[in-house]
Amino acid sequence: MNFNINARSLNSSIPLIELEGEVDVYTAPQLKQQMISLLEQGHTEMVVDLTKVEYLDSTALGVLIGGLKRVRERDGNLPLICPSARIRRVFEITGLDKIFDIYNSEDEAKSELAGKETV
C-alpha cells in the first residue's frame, strides 16, 4: 500500500495538503488527522491536492466531506486540486463536484483563492 501525505503552504495563509497514492480505509485517518491538526492551529482555509492520488474510496470521500463540514462551520472552505479525469469522475458520480470547489492545477487554485481574498 503506497501512501504519502505532506503539508506545505499554498500561499502565505493557506496550507496545502498533498496526497499521493491510495486514499482508502487504511490511509484516510491520516488525512483526517492532518486536517484536524490544521484546524486546531487556526486554519479555516486549506487545499487538498489530489494530483498524485491513484485511488480514492468512500472512506476518503467521507473524510473530505467531514473536513469540508468542519471548515465551513468556521466560515472557511476546503477546495480540491484534481486534474485526473478518473478521480474527478468519482466526485461527479457522487454529486460531490457540486459542493467542493475543484481546480485543475495548483496555479489555478492559487489565482482563484487570491482573487477571493481581495474581495
Domain CATH code at residue 11: 3.30.750.24
Residue 114: its pLDDT value, please? 82
Residue 12: its pLDDT value, please? 79
Residue 119: its pLDDT value, please? 40
Whole-number Å distance between alpha carbons of 4 and 19: 6
State the residue range of the domain holding 94: 3-117
Per-residue pLDDT of the chain (119 residues; tens, 9 = 90+): 689 999 999 887 899 999 999 999 999 999 999 999 999 999 999 999 999 999 999 999 999 999 999 999 999 999 999 999 999 999 999 999 999 999 999 999 999 888 765 44
Whole-number Å distance between alpha carbons of 116 and 94: 27
Residue type, 81: I
Whole-number Å distance between alpha carbons of 17 and 82: 12
- Find the angle CA(15)-CA(61)-CA(40) to the nearest 5 degrees: 35
Residue 1: its pLDDT value, please? 60
Question: What domain count does the chain have?
Answer: 1
